[in-house]
């Protein structure tokens, strides 16, 4: 008849089932998540704030990792572009836009540089949709 499974085996089977479901439904889940965020901006913002305050160490680690990635992505000529890059970030703030790396600094496909020619101004929502994708990945 039915085989007797230990609690550990049941957990492992459930984990594998959940993982398989996630892989099959990744796009649908991502879209549902995006729609929820659009419909519940204040809740999402409050959750993010609460998470930050409850996990400051994790947030600091993430911020430091991002800073280190940007540092490694600076080529030898970075200093000559530094002022122009700062101007671009100021302009983005004034216009309510964000600065995006056309070729992501860290991606499975390609890693870009933190240079003026690799930066663009984007609407924050469009930037979140792009996330860590390279243009060719999106087409």
Question: Where do the domains of the chain lie?
Answer: 1-54, 75-139
Is a pLDDT exceeding 90 seen at residue 130? no
63-67 average pLDDT score? 90
8 A C-beta contact, residue 111 and residue 118:
no
Place of tokens 């459930």: 14
Q: Residues 72, 78, 79, 82: is their CA dihedral positive or negative?
A: negative
Rounded-to-integer distance, Cα 8 and Cα 20, Å = 18
Task: Output the pLDDT for position 138.
Answer: 46
Q: What is the dihedral of CA 26, 135, 59, 82, to 10 degrees?
A: 180
pLDDT (tens digit per residue) in 5-35: 899 999 999 999 999 999 999 989 989 998 9
The average confidence (pLDDT) of the chain is 88
* pLDDT of 132 higher than 80: no
Please say if the pLDDT value at position 1 is more than 70.
no
């Amino acid at each position: 008849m039915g085989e007797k499974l230990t609690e550990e085996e049941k957990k492992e089977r459930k984990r594998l089932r959940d993982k398989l479901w996630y892989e099959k439904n990744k796009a649908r889940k991502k879209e549902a998540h995006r729609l929820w965020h659009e419909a519940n901006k204040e809740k999402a913002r409050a959750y993010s704030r609460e998470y930050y305050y409850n996990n400051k160490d994790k947030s600091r680690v993430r911020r430091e990792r991002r800073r280190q990635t940007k540092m490694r992505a600076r080529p030898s000529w970075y200093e000559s572009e530094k002022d122009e890059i700062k101007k671009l970030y100021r302009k983005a703030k004034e216009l309510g836009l964000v600065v995006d790396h056309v070729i992501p600094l860290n991606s499975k496909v390609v890693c870009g540089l933190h240079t003026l020619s690799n930066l663009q101004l984007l609407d924050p929502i469009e930037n979140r949709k792009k996330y860590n994708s390279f243009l060719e990945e999106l087409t």
